[in-house]
Amino acid sequence: MRCPFCQAVDSRVVESRTNEEQSLVRRRRECIECGRRFTTYERVEYTPLLVVKKDKTRESFDRDKLMRGITRACEKRPITLEQIETMVDEVDKQLRVDYEREVPTSAIGERVMELLREIDGVAYVRFASVYREFRDVETFAKEILQLLNNQSGRKVEG
């Protein structure tokens, strides 16, 4: 593994950990040349999953893009990076169970919104506003009222 700091080829593994599902190995490495430490991740390579967008175009599923979208919705919220990574892992795993080769963007967006709704209402509304393309304040208000109704179990009117 090439060192990201000095580009040396040799490094040694200092520590290895797997996640709960045993699907990811996290390795702490130390460069033999410069002595700096860095982290690498090792995961099973699956057959490519294509995302079918609203305009029917297709692009490769990109975990990093999903991570960026969820992270953006969670900015300045009490949500840890570990929780976000867990959400990304869960969405990725579920998509590969439910879809063989192609997955509609709606399936990704709905799954992310389910997870965010359980964790943080503000992050959920932020994500939903972009995903569902809210155009006005009334749409925001309806979504928030629906979220409040689901959380409280009673009818809140606006």
Determine, yes or no, domain membership for 141.
yes
Burial class (CB within 10 angstroms; exposed 0-12, middle 13-18, buried 19+) of 52: middle
Residue 30: φ, ψ to 5°:
-125, 130
- Same domain, residue pair 87 and 131: yes
Determine, yes or no, domain membership for 157.
no
- Same domain, residue pair 76 and 87: yes
Residues with Cβ < 8 Å from 117, sequence gap 6 or more? 124, 147, 150
What is the strand order of the sheet 11-18 is part of? 11-18, 24-31, 37-43
The mean per-residue pLDDT over the stretch 2-21 comes to 92
- Same domain, residue pair 54 and 76: yes
> Which pLDDT score is estimated for 152?
66
Query: For residue 158, what are its two tokens?
Result: 């606006």
- Same domain, residue pair 108 and 129: yes
Q: Which tens digits make up the pLDDT trace of 41-93?
A: 998 777 889 999 999 999 999 999 999 999 999 999 999 999 999 999 999 99
More confident residue, 114 or 138: 114
pTM, entire model: 0.66
Domain ranges, residue 138: 46-152
- Same domain, residue pair 28 and 54: no
Taking the CB of residue 130, how many other CB atoms lie within 10 A of it?
12
Q: How many domains does the chain have?
A: 2
Residue 23: φ, ψ to 5°:
-105, -5
- Same domain, residue pair 81 and 28: no
Determine, yes or no, domain membership for 32.
yes
Determine, yes or no, domain membership for 142.
yes
